[in-house]
Structure 1
Amino acid sequence: MFCEEIWARTATLLKAIHDHPFNAALGDGTLDRERFAFYMVQDARYLSAFSKALAAASVRSADPADAMFFAESAHTALAVERGLHTSYLEEFGVSAEEEAAVPTSPTCLAYASFLQATALAEPLPVLAAAVLPCFWVYQDVGTALLARTAGMDDHPYRAWIDTYSDESFAASVERIKAITDRLAETADPATRRAMAEAFCRATEYEWMFWDSAWRLETWPTRQWLG
């Protein structure tokens, strides 16, 4: 199956995601608030582009059940996940004005632009493969962190871990994997290769996104702008 093949292809990269200092510190509960707040701000902006890509997938889906899944996922990205971001930023004392003043990072802009370009120019099978890592990688990381933090009820990032290790989120992951596998079955070889490349590129962006938050990434050219 396509999903099994592409998951195996990205195994080393997935391990690097799990081992990244950001996720290691997130699991330990030692991740400093500045990095996590930066991540929350950037992720909220990414989710806007992600939800639009899901909405585009819904419009393109010939199967009514698939269309409903993508539409519901677009709503969840904006309502449920965005709500998680808002609650953490409020807890950290980050005002709406302070959030708006944080520049969108180069990595966030690149990942969002990749999804928007894919939604605009690529067929549905490629778009499905491109949005799949944001479901699957997060569920994989969340589940691993849940196991690592068992019994740590006072964990500062418990809500984040619970969101991405939740059974309902896991069910959504299985659903989009099934959709992607079905689309790959009827895809021609060129489209299947494009699906694989889209999945790999999005997974690369997942690593880069956490890495950018760890580094508090800024625009190196900002100093030369008036």
Structure 2
Amino acid sequence: MKFTEQLTQDTADLRRQILDMPFNRQLAAGTLPSEVFRGYIIQDAHYLEGFARALTLVASKAPNPQAIAQLAGSATNAAAVERLLHGHYMGLYGVTDEHFRQAGTSAACDHYVAHLIRCCAIGDFAEGLAAVLPCFWIYHDVGHAIAAEAAPGNPYAEWIATYSGEEFTESVNRMLALTDSIGAAIDDAGRDRMRRVFARSCWHEWRFWDSAYHRQDWLMPQAELIPAE
């Protein structure tokens, strides 16, 4: 069994739930409220900055020049390709640079980015690789699942095309191949760490979409619970 097949088994139930969650079902139907998608795109743009930094960190620990080039290239492509996607929708929804800066990061976005940076900065190469893999793999699966049922005229067609496109699929396949190679080269303890980190990143993918759908931000204490100065 390939290591990525083990990862699939480990997270099968959670990944089914991601495909079936209201955000993705309504995005496929074209009925997702525009204000929900607008908030999601803002947070996704904030997330992308952290994700690119995480890819750069894990690239610095890669065991060979080919892996360094692959991951560094992924960081560059993520920043370039997805910036175009975000720019399209931010322009459509009237999100200015000032609006973007004032929005800040949601709790779910901040939590996910912190997880990635911690794994890629403190963990070894294998852990960092496992941490960033779900962002590639799950978006590929969701993009293709939605593309298979989305009707013409879907208002989120640009998003669907990005994640169901051939170029993105090729980048995901390269990540899967690299993960299988690393998984085969390390010991059981290392693979167990990769499995735990991968599963946690999958949870963060679910949490990011769920938070966006319910338009959740930072939970604040009630005013009466804040000590007076």
Q: TM-score, normalised by structure 2?
A: 0.94
Q: Distance in 2 between matches of 1:72 and 1:219?
A: 33
Partner-residue secondary structure (3-state), 1:172: helix
The residue type equivalent to 2:127 in the other structure is V
Map of 1:26 onto structure 2: 27
The residue type equivalent to 1:57 in the other structure is V
Map of 2:210 onto structure 1: 211
Matches within 5 A, 1:98-109: 98-109=99-110
Q: Distance in 1 between matches of 2:121 and 2:175?
A: 20
**Is 2:137 the partner of 1:123?**
no
**Is 2:162 the partner of 1:174?**
no
Map of 2:186 onto structure 1: 187
Superposition deviation, residue 222 in structure 1? 6.8
Superposition deviation, residue 104 in structure 1? 1.1
Map of 1:89 onto structure 2: 90
Q: Distance in 2 between matches of 1:222 and 1:91?
A: 35
Superposition deviation, residue 103 in structure 1? 3.1
Percent pairwise identity: 40
Superposition deviation, residue 200 in structure 1? 0.2
Q: Distance in 2 between matches of 1:12 and 1:119?
A: 26
Map of 1:220 onto structure 2: 219
Contact 2:52 2:75 survives alignment (8 Å): yes
Q: Which moved more, 1:87-96 or 1:202-211?
A: 87-96
Q: Distance in 2 between matches of 1:198 and 1:166?
A: 27
The residue type equivalent to 2:167 in the other structure is S
Q: TM-score, normalised by structure 1?
A: 0.95
Gaps of 5+ in 2: none
Map of 1:200 onto structure 2: 199
Contact 2:120 2:131 survives alignment (8 Å): no
Superposition deviation, residue 62 in structure 1? 2.5
Map of 2:58 onto structure 1: 57
Contact 2:58 2:121 survives alignment (8 Å): no
Q: Distance in 2 between matches of 1:116 and 1:45?
A: 14
Map of 1:6 onto structure 2: 7
Superposition deviation, residue 163 in structure 1? 0.3
Superposition deviation, residue 27 in structure 1? 0.4
Gaps of 5+ in 1: none
CA RMSD of aligned residues (A): 1.4
Q: What do the CA deviations read for 1:112-144 (whole angstroms, capped 9, x no partner)?
A: 000000111100011111111000000000000
